[in-house]
Structure 1
């Protein structure tokens, strides 16, 4: 029997493929974003299923939305390829950014609970 996340990914892939047929939706970007999001979800084997599914949804949404920006600021011309790279990179870059923010030493006057008299 297939792993639940694999079954979900296959079902989602069918839905993504069908939804790309609707007018106004960039099918190439949608499929590229899904491919990048699926890569992120499948390669995160040490995470619980809920987090993997959350990564899939977040990567898919941001990859699709970021494709025009990636095309505008890089030599890439295909929305599917741009969405794939945006989708695959968004989780890694965001988690790295969160880790960097956690290491920032705040000035004394910004720390919670400190009083200056």
Structure 2
């Protein structure tokens, strides 16, 4: 179960997102889908500090909303809300996995030494 501060923040953010969908030019379905995916990420990250979970939530919400059109164009999904949810829920996991893969890359010796040639 989420701690009270996270639950309060998520509730407040949900209310703000609900009001934001009233503005023209904003895809309300994508915004709500991205929020749902970001909330899932924040709640499922139980072993992380609250500030880190909030950062993950903000990043996931932003990427989910922005990536929804790309997900629609490259998958069979046609609803922006579902596409944003998928993008939002996957954003943090895929990025962290990519960072770990980058850390394992063995760089050539000349590159590790700062570009100097021996």
Common fold by TM > 0.5: yes
Question: In structure 1, what is the Cα distance between the partners aligned to 2:88 and 2:117?
Answer: 45
Gaps of 5+ in 1: none
SS of 1:91's equivalent?
A: helix
- Determine the C-alpha separation between the residues in 2 that align with 1:38 and 1:50: 14
- 1:115 shift after superposition: 4.7
Task: Report the CA distance shift for 1:113/1:9 in structure 2 as closer, same or farther (over 3 A).
Answer: same
Q: What is the rounded CA distance, in whole Å, between the counterparts of 2:45 and 2:24 in structure 1?
A: 33
Report the Cα distance in structure 2 between the residues aligned to 1:112 and 1:14, rounded to whole angstroms. 52
Runs of 4+ in 1 over 6 A off after TM superposition: none
Q: RMSD in angstroms over aligned alpha carbons?
A: 1.2
Q: Give the aligned length.
A: 116
SS at match of 1:83: helix
Deviation at 1:103, TM superposition (A): 0.2
Q: Distance in 1 between matches of 2:18 and 2:32?
A: 7
Deviation at 1:3?
1.1
When normalised by structure 2's length, the TM-score is 0.95
Unaligned 5+ runs, structure 2: none
Per the normalisation by structure 1, the TM-score is 0.95
